[in-house]
Protein backbone atom coordinates (compact mmCIF):
# COMPACT_ATOMS: atom_id res chain seq x y z
CA UNK A 1 0.00 0.00 0.00
CA UNK A 2 1.57 3.31 -1.11
CA UNK A 3 1.68 6.28 1.21
CA UNK A 4 -0.07 9.54 0.43
CA UNK A 5 1.52 12.98 0.36
CA UNK A 6 4.79 11.86 -1.14
CA UNK A 7 6.00 11.28 -4.68
CA UNK A 8 5.69 7.65 -5.76
CA UNK A 9 8.22 6.26 -8.24
CA UNK A 10 8.03 2.94 -10.09
CA UNK A 11 11.59 1.63 -10.29
CA UNK A 12 10.69 -0.69 -13.16
CA UNK A 13 10.07 2.31 -15.45
CA UNK A 14 12.00 2.34 -18.73
CA UNK A 15 15.43 0.73 -18.47
CA UNK A 16 14.86 0.14 -14.75
CA UNK A 17 18.39 1.03 -13.62
CA UNK A 18 19.85 2.55 -10.50
CA UNK A 19 19.73 6.00 -12.09
CA UNK A 20 16.01 6.15 -11.26
CA UNK A 21 16.84 5.91 -7.56
CA UNK A 22 19.81 8.29 -7.75
CA UNK A 23 17.88 10.97 -9.64
CA UNK A 24 14.97 10.68 -7.20
CA UNK A 25 17.28 11.05 -4.20
CA UNK A 26 18.92 14.14 -5.69
CA UNK A 27 15.73 15.97 -6.67
CA UNK A 28 13.95 14.99 -3.47
CA UNK A 29 16.72 16.64 -1.44
CA UNK A 30 16.73 19.83 -3.51
CA UNK A 31 12.94 20.22 -3.78
CA UNK A 32 12.32 18.92 -0.25
CA UNK A 33 9.69 16.53 -1.61
CA UNK A 34 9.77 13.11 0.09
CA UNK A 35 9.39 10.07 -2.15
CA UNK A 36 9.00 6.34 -2.15
CA UNK A 37 10.22 3.96 -4.81
CA UNK A 38 9.17 0.38 -5.46
CA UNK A 39 10.36 -2.28 -7.94
CA UNK A 40 13.95 -1.02 -7.61
CA UNK A 41 16.01 -2.30 -10.58
CA UNK A 42 13.23 -4.80 -11.24
CA UNK A 43 14.37 -5.74 -14.75
CA UNK A 44 18.00 -6.36 -13.80
CA UNK A 45 19.49 -9.82 -13.26
CA UNK A 46 20.24 -8.86 -9.63
CA UNK A 47 17.27 -6.62 -8.70
CA UNK A 48 17.19 -4.39 -5.64
CA UNK A 49 19.83 -2.19 -4.04
CA UNK A 50 23.50 -3.07 -4.57
CA UNK A 51 26.39 -1.64 -2.54
CA UNK A 52 27.01 1.35 -4.81
CA UNK A 53 23.31 2.31 -4.78
CA UNK A 54 23.25 2.00 -1.01
CA UNK A 55 26.34 4.24 -0.76
CA UNK A 56 24.61 6.90 -2.86
CA UNK A 57 21.50 6.68 -0.68
CA UNK A 58 23.50 7.02 2.54
CA UNK A 59 25.57 9.85 1.07
CA UNK A 60 22.46 11.86 0.22
CA UNK A 61 20.87 11.09 3.58
CA UNK A 62 23.96 12.35 5.39
CA UNK A 63 24.28 15.51 3.33
CA UNK A 64 20.67 16.57 3.74
CA UNK A 65 20.15 15.10 7.22
CA UNK A 66 17.27 13.07 5.85
CA UNK A 67 15.54 9.91 6.97
CA UNK A 68 15.46 6.73 4.91
CA UNK A 69 13.53 3.49 5.31
CA UNK A 70 14.40 0.04 3.87
CA UNK A 71 17.95 1.08 2.91
CA UNK A 72 19.72 -2.28 2.78
CA UNK A 73 21.37 -4.43 0.14
CA UNK A 74 18.77 -6.29 -1.91
CA UNK A 75 15.86 -4.07 -0.89
CA UNK A 76 13.39 -3.40 -3.73
CA UNK A 77 11.57 -0.58 -1.97
CA UNK A 78 12.74 2.58 -0.25
CA UNK A 79 11.26 5.69 1.34
CA UNK A 80 13.15 8.94 1.74
CA UNK A 81 12.30 12.04 3.75
CA UNK A 82 14.76 14.89 3.07
CA UNK A 83 15.99 17.40 5.63
CA UNK A 84 18.25 20.46 5.62
CA UNK A 85 21.18 20.33 3.19
CA UNK A 86 24.47 20.77 5.06
CA UNK A 87 27.71 21.48 3.20
CA UNK A 88 31.06 20.40 4.63
CA UNK A 89 33.54 17.52 4.45
CA UNK A 90 32.26 14.04 3.66
CA UNK A 91 33.95 10.68 3.12
CA UNK A 92 32.07 7.85 1.42
CA UNK A 93 33.42 4.32 0.94
CA UNK A 94 31.47 2.04 -1.37
CA UNK A 95 33.36 -0.98 -0.02
CA UNK A 96 33.55 -2.62 -3.45
CA UNK A 97 34.56 -1.56 -6.97
CA UNK A 98 31.19 0.17 -7.35
CA UNK A 99 31.37 3.38 -9.37
CA UNK A 100 32.63 6.45 -7.52
CA UNK A 101 31.48 8.72 -10.35
CA UNK A 102 27.86 7.62 -10.08
CA UNK A 103 27.89 8.43 -6.36
CA UNK A 104 29.51 11.78 -7.16
CA UNK A 105 26.90 12.64 -9.77
CA UNK A 106 24.19 11.89 -7.21
CA UNK A 107 25.44 14.33 -4.56
CA UNK A 108 26.94 17.11 -6.71
CA UNK A 109 23.69 18.94 -7.57
CA UNK A 110 22.69 18.85 -3.90
CA UNK A 111 25.94 20.42 -2.71
CA UNK A 112 25.59 23.22 -5.29
CA UNK A 113 22.65 24.53 -3.27
CA UNK A 114 24.29 24.11 0.15
CA UNK A 115 25.15 27.20 2.16
CA UNK A 116 28.91 26.61 2.31
CA UNK A 117 31.78 24.98 0.44
CA UNK A 118 32.02 21.19 0.52
CA UNK A 119 34.70 18.58 -0.02
CA UNK A 120 33.82 14.95 -0.68
CA UNK A 121 36.04 11.89 -0.94
CA UNK A 122 34.64 8.72 -2.46
CA UNK A 123 36.39 5.34 -2.43
CA UNK A 124 35.54 2.51 -4.82
CA UNK A 125 35.94 1.88 -8.56
CA UNK A 126 37.16 4.77 -10.71
CA UNK A 127 37.17 2.91 -14.05
CA UNK A 128 34.51 0.21 -14.18
CA UNK A 129 31.90 -1.11 -16.60
CA UNK A 130 28.50 0.55 -17.16
CA UNK A 131 29.39 3.90 -15.60
CA UNK A 132 31.40 7.00 -16.52
CA UNK A 133 35.12 6.43 -15.98
CA UNK A 134 36.83 9.14 -13.95
CA UNK A 135 38.66 10.53 -16.98
CA UNK A 136 35.36 11.05 -18.81
CA UNK A 137 33.86 12.53 -15.64
CA UNK A 138 36.81 14.92 -15.21
CA UNK A 139 37.33 15.97 -18.84
CA UNK A 140 33.78 15.96 -20.28
CA UNK A 141 31.15 16.07 -17.55
CA UNK A 142 32.83 18.51 -15.12
CA UNK A 143 33.66 21.12 -17.82
CA UNK A 144 30.05 20.97 -19.03
CA UNK A 145 28.56 21.81 -15.65
CA UNK A 146 31.30 24.39 -15.03
CA UNK A 147 30.16 26.13 -18.22
CA UNK A 148 26.68 26.34 -16.67
CA UNK A 149 28.15 28.02 -13.58
CA UNK A 150 28.92 25.11 -11.26
CA UNK A 151 31.93 25.84 -9.06
CA UNK A 152 33.27 22.31 -8.98
CA UNK A 153 36.75 20.79 -9.14
CA UNK A 154 37.65 17.10 -9.28
CA UNK A 155 40.79 15.04 -8.92
CA UNK A 156 41.66 11.36 -8.72
CA UNK A 157 43.88 10.48 -5.79
CA UNK A 158 44.33 6.89 -6.93
CA UNK A 159 42.62 4.64 -9.48
CA UNK A 160 40.60 1.55 -8.64
CA UNK A 161 39.45 -1.35 -10.81
CA UNK A 162 37.19 -4.38 -10.47
CA UNK A 163 37.02 -6.45 -8.30
CA UNK A 164 38.89 -4.86 -5.35
CA UNK A 165 38.30 -1.19 -6.11
CA UNK A 166 40.27 0.95 -3.69
CA UNK A 167 40.28 3.96 -5.99
CA UNK A 168 39.68 7.39 -4.50
CA UNK A 169 38.48 10.71 -5.88
CA UNK A 170 38.16 14.11 -4.25
CA UNK A 171 35.67 16.77 -5.32
CA UNK A 172 35.26 20.32 -4.05
CA UNK A 173 31.93 22.08 -4.54
CA UNK A 174 30.97 25.67 -3.82
CA UNK A 175 27.41 27.05 -3.70
CA UNK A 176 26.60 28.04 -7.28
CA UNK A 177 23.89 29.61 -9.38
CA UNK A 178 23.42 27.77 -12.65
CA UNK A 179 22.56 29.39 -15.99
CA UNK A 180 21.06 27.57 -18.95
CA UNK A 181 23.23 27.15 -22.06
CA UNK A 182 21.97 27.24 -25.66
CA UNK A 183 25.27 27.53 -27.54
CA UNK A 184 27.91 24.95 -26.63
CA UNK A 185 31.54 25.52 -27.70
CA UNK A 186 32.92 22.91 -30.08
CA UNK A 187 36.50 21.76 -30.43
CA UNK A 188 37.38 19.03 -32.93
CA UNK A 189 40.81 18.32 -31.42
CA UNK A 190 40.75 14.78 -30.03
CA UNK A 191 42.58 13.92 -26.81
CA UNK A 192 43.21 10.38 -25.61
CA UNK A 193 44.15 9.06 -22.18
CA UNK A 194 45.16 5.43 -21.72
CA UNK A 195 45.55 3.97 -18.24
CA UNK A 196 47.30 0.70 -17.49
CA UNK A 197 47.67 -0.80 -14.00
CA UNK A 198 49.45 -4.01 -12.91
CA UNK A 199 49.51 -5.16 -16.54
CA UNK A 200 52.21 -5.12 -19.25
CA UNK A 201 52.85 -1.63 -20.64
CA UNK A 202 52.78 -3.19 -24.11
CA UNK A 203 48.96 -3.29 -23.87
CA UNK A 204 48.81 0.48 -23.64
CA UNK A 205 51.38 0.85 -26.43
CA UNK A 206 49.25 -1.31 -28.73
CA UNK A 207 46.25 0.87 -27.93
CA UNK A 208 48.28 3.98 -28.67
CA UNK A 209 49.36 2.50 -32.00
CA UNK A 210 45.70 2.17 -33.00
CA UNK A 211 45.16 5.82 -32.07
CA UNK A 212 48.08 6.95 -34.20
CA UNK A 213 46.88 4.84 -37.12
CA UNK A 214 43.59 6.74 -36.89
CA UNK A 215 45.28 10.17 -36.85
CA UNK A 216 44.81 10.70 -33.11
CA UNK A 217 48.17 12.03 -31.99
CA UNK A 218 47.42 13.70 -28.63
CA UNK A 219 47.74 10.49 -26.62
CA UNK A 220 48.83 10.17 -22.97
CA UNK A 221 49.63 6.92 -21.16
CA UNK A 222 49.49 6.59 -17.36
CA UNK A 223 51.09 3.51 -15.81
CA UNK A 224 49.92 2.92 -12.23
CA UNK A 225 49.86 0.50 -9.30
CA UNK A 226 46.43 -0.60 -8.08
CA UNK A 227 44.76 -3.28 -5.94
CA UNK A 228 43.37 -4.99 -9.06
CA UNK A 229 44.82 -4.93 -12.59
CA UNK A 230 43.04 -2.68 -15.07
CA UNK A 231 43.09 -0.79 -18.32
CA UNK A 232 40.95 2.01 -19.74
CA UNK A 233 40.82 4.18 -22.84
CA UNK A 234 39.13 7.58 -22.81
CA UNK A 235 38.77 9.93 -25.78
CA UNK A 236 37.18 13.37 -25.87
CA UNK A 237 36.70 16.50 -27.92
CA UNK A 238 34.91 19.31 -26.08
CA UNK A 239 31.63 17.89 -24.71
CA UNK A 240 31.75 14.64 -26.64
CA UNK A 241 33.62 11.70 -25.27
CA UNK A 242 33.95 7.93 -25.17
CA UNK A 243 35.20 5.58 -22.49
CA UNK A 244 35.99 1.88 -22.88
CA UNK A 245 37.46 -0.18 -20.02
CA UNK A 246 39.66 -3.12 -20.84
CA UNK A 247 38.31 -6.57 -20.08
CA UNK A 248 39.95 -9.95 -19.62
CA UNK A 249 40.15 -11.65 -22.99
CA UNK A 250 39.46 -8.46 -24.96
CA UNK A 251 42.35 -7.50 -27.20
CA UNK A 252 43.94 -4.09 -26.74
CA UNK A 253 43.29 -3.25 -30.39
CA UNK A 254 39.57 -3.94 -29.93
CA UNK A 255 39.38 -1.71 -26.84
CA UNK A 256 41.07 1.18 -28.67
CA UNK A 257 39.04 0.81 -31.86
CA UNK A 258 35.80 0.61 -29.90
CA UNK A 259 36.63 3.89 -28.14
CA UNK A 260 37.39 5.55 -31.48
CA UNK A 261 34.21 4.25 -33.11
CA UNK A 262 32.10 5.43 -30.17
CA UNK A 263 33.54 8.94 -30.36
CA UNK A 264 33.04 9.14 -34.13
CA UNK A 265 29.29 8.57 -33.63
CA UNK A 266 29.03 11.74 -31.56
CA UNK A 267 28.24 14.63 -33.91
CA UNK A 268 26.01 16.83 -31.74
CA UNK A 269 26.81 19.40 -29.06
CA UNK A 270 26.84 16.81 -26.27
CA UNK A 271 27.41 13.07 -26.55
CA UNK A 272 24.49 10.78 -25.78
CA UNK A 273 25.73 9.99 -22.27
CA UNK A 274 26.36 13.62 -21.30
CA UNK A 275 22.92 14.52 -22.70
CA UNK A 276 21.41 12.31 -20.02
CA UNK A 277 23.75 13.47 -17.25
CA UNK A 278 23.19 17.20 -17.91
CA UNK A 279 19.39 17.04 -17.65
CA UNK A 280 19.22 17.71 -13.94
CA UNK A 281 21.47 20.78 -14.32
CA UNK A 282 19.21 22.14 -17.06
CA UNK A 283 16.29 21.67 -14.68
CA UNK A 284 18.07 23.57 -11.89
CA UNK A 285 19.49 26.33 -14.10
CA UNK A 286 17.97 29.75 -14.62
CA UNK A 287 16.72 30.17 -18.19
CA UNK A 288 16.66 27.80 -21.14
CA UNK A 289 19.04 24.97 -21.91
CA UNK A 290 19.19 23.61 -25.43
CA UNK A 291 21.49 21.14 -27.17
CA UNK A 292 21.70 18.53 -29.90
CA UNK A 293 22.93 15.02 -29.22
CA UNK A 294 23.62 11.92 -31.29
CA UNK A 295 20.86 9.76 -29.82
CA UNK A 296 18.00 9.96 -27.35
CA UNK A 297 18.69 6.82 -25.37
CA UNK A 298 16.29 4.82 -23.21
CA UNK A 299 18.38 5.95 -20.26
CA UNK A 300 17.75 9.59 -21.26
CA UNK A 301 13.98 9.01 -21.59
CA UNK A 302 13.79 7.30 -18.20
CA UNK A 303 15.76 10.05 -16.49
CA UNK A 304 13.62 12.76 -18.12
CA UNK A 305 10.49 11.00 -16.88
CA UNK A 306 11.75 10.79 -13.29
CA UNK A 307 12.78 14.47 -13.31
CA UNK A 308 9.23 15.42 -14.30
CA UNK A 309 7.95 14.10 -10.96
CA UNK A 310 9.84 16.74 -8.98
CA UNK A 311 9.88 19.99 -10.96
CA UNK A 312 7.82 22.34 -13.10
CA UNK A 313 10.31 22.73 -15.94
CA UNK A 314 9.73 20.52 -18.95
CA UNK A 315 12.13 18.53 -21.09
CA UNK A 316 11.21 18.37 -24.77
CA UNK A 317 13.12 16.31 -27.31
CA UNK A 318 12.65 15.68 -31.00
CA UNK A 319 15.08 14.69 -33.77
CA UNK A 320 17.85 14.45 -31.12
CA UNK A 321 17.35 18.12 -30.18
CA UNK A 322 16.63 18.79 -26.51
CA UNK A 323 15.09 21.86 -24.89
CA UNK A 324 14.68 22.36 -21.15
CA UNK A 325 12.60 25.36 -20.06
CA UNK A 326 9.41 26.57 -18.46
CA UNK A 327 6.79 25.82 -21.13
What per-residue confidence (pLDDT) applies to 110? 98
- Among 53, 127, 138, 299, which one carries the catalytic annotation? 299
Beta strand residue intervals within 21-88, DSSP E = 35-38, 67-69, 78-81
Q: What is the pLDDT of residue 115?
A: 96
pLDDT at residue 293 above 80?
yes
Active-site residue flag, 299:
yes
Express each pLDDT in 75-124 by its tens digit. 999 999 999 999 999 999 998 899 999 999 999 999 999 999 999 999 99
What is the per-residue pLDDT for 129?
95
What does the domain layout of the chain look like in residue ranges? 7-178+284-325, 191-264
Task: Supply the pLDDT for residue 2.
Answer: 37
Q: pLDDT (tens digit, 9 = 90+) per residue, 244-269? A: 999 999 999 999 999 999 999 999 99
At 159-174, the pLDDT tens digits run 999 999 999 999 999 9
What pLDDT, in 10s, does the model give residues 234-244? 999 999 999 99
CA angle 318, 323, 325 (to 5 degrees): 140
Place domain 7-178+284-325 in its CATH homologous superfamily: RNA 3'-terminal phosphate cyclase domain (3.65.10.20)
Q: What is the pLDDT of residue 1?
A: 27
Question: pTM score, two decimals?
Answer: 0.95
Q: What is the DSSP string of 200-239?
A: -HHHHHHHHHHHHHTT--EEEEEEE--SS-EEEEEEEETT
Cβ atoms 67, 36 nearer than 8 A:
no
Q: 191-264 — its CATH code? A: 3.30.360.20
At 200-230, the pLDDT tens digits run 999 999 999 999 999 999 999 999 999 999 9
Number of H helices, E strands in the chain: 10, 15
When pLDDT is cut at 50, 70 and 90, the band that residue 327 belongs to is low
Average pLDDT (288-294) is 98
Model pLDDT, residue 51: 84
Q: What is the pLDDT of residues 122-142, one digit of tens each?
A: 999 999 999 999 999 999 999
Q: What average pLDDT is seen over the chain?
A: 95
The predicted structure's pLDDT at residue 77: 95
| Residue range 189-197: mean pLDDT, rounded | 98
In whole angstroms, what separates CA 162 from the centre of its chain? 18
Torsion sign across C-alpha atoms 51, 57, 60, 65 = negative
Residues 6 or more apart whose Cβ sits within 8 Å of residue 89: 118, 119, 120
pLDDT given at position 4: 45
Indicate the pLDDT class of residue 17, thresholds 50, 70 and 90: confident
Determine the average pLDDT of the residues in 278-284.
Answer: 97
239, 225 Cβ separation under 8 angstroms: no
In this chain, the answer to whether the domains covering 7-178+284-325 and 191-264 adopt an identical fold is no
Amino acid sequence: MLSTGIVSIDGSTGESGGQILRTSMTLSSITQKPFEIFNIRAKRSNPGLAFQHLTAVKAVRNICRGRVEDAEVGSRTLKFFPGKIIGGKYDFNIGTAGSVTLVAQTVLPILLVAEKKSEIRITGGTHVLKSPGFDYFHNVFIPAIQLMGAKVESEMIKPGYYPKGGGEIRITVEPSELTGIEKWPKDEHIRALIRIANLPLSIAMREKKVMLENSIEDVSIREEETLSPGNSVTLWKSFRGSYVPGEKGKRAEVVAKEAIDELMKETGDLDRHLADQILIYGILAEGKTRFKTSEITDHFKTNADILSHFNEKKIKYENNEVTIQQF
